[in-house]
Amino acid sequence: MTVAKYTIGFILSLLLSLVAYFYVELHGSADWVTLVLGVLAVTQMIVQLVFFLHLGDEAGPRYRLLSFVFMFGTLVIIVVGSIWIMANMNYNMMQMTPTQKENYMTTKNDMSF
């Protein structure tokens, strides 16, 4: 049963990777590329967790599942927070030209020392 499960996981992972590659090749600049790649990435992650890391196969899967949910929540907070901070910084500095941004960053850096 284990070899069959690994084979199914490998085939699914390979198919998901090929679908992502060919979707980008055919629709490289479409608006939906990011969303489709995100869905494929989450699906790939679930396939990896179930077929290769055996999430849910043990007798007491609750602890491993809870630790995974906590890890995933922490990851989401870090990624979303980072994007939010970078977007906020970009918005607040958009009124400046690149030269003005460089001068501003240089003067702020010199003030800290």
Specify if 106 maps to a domain: no
Domain total of the chain: 2
Same domain, 29 and 68: no
**DSSP-assigned states of every residue in 67-110:** HHHHHHHHHHHHHHHHHHHHHHHHHHTTTS-HHHHHHHHHHHHH
Asked whether the CA dihedral 20, 21, 27, 33 is positive or negative, the reply is positive
Is 52 within 8 Å of 86 (Cβ atoms)?
Answer: no
pTM beyond cutoff 0.75: no
Same domain, 31 and 69: no
- Residue 75: CB atoms within 10 A of its CB come to 10
Same domain, 72 and 95: yes
Same domain, 48 and 8: yes
Same domain, 1 and 45: yes
Which band of pLDDT confidence, cut at 50, 70 and 90, is reported for residue 1?
Answer: low
pLDDT tens figures, 22-43:
999 988 777 788 889 989 998 9
Tokens 């939906």 sit on residue: 32
Same domain, 13 and 49: yes
Q: How far is CA 40 from CA 5, 61, 65, in A?
A: 20, 25, 21
Domain extent for 34: 1-54
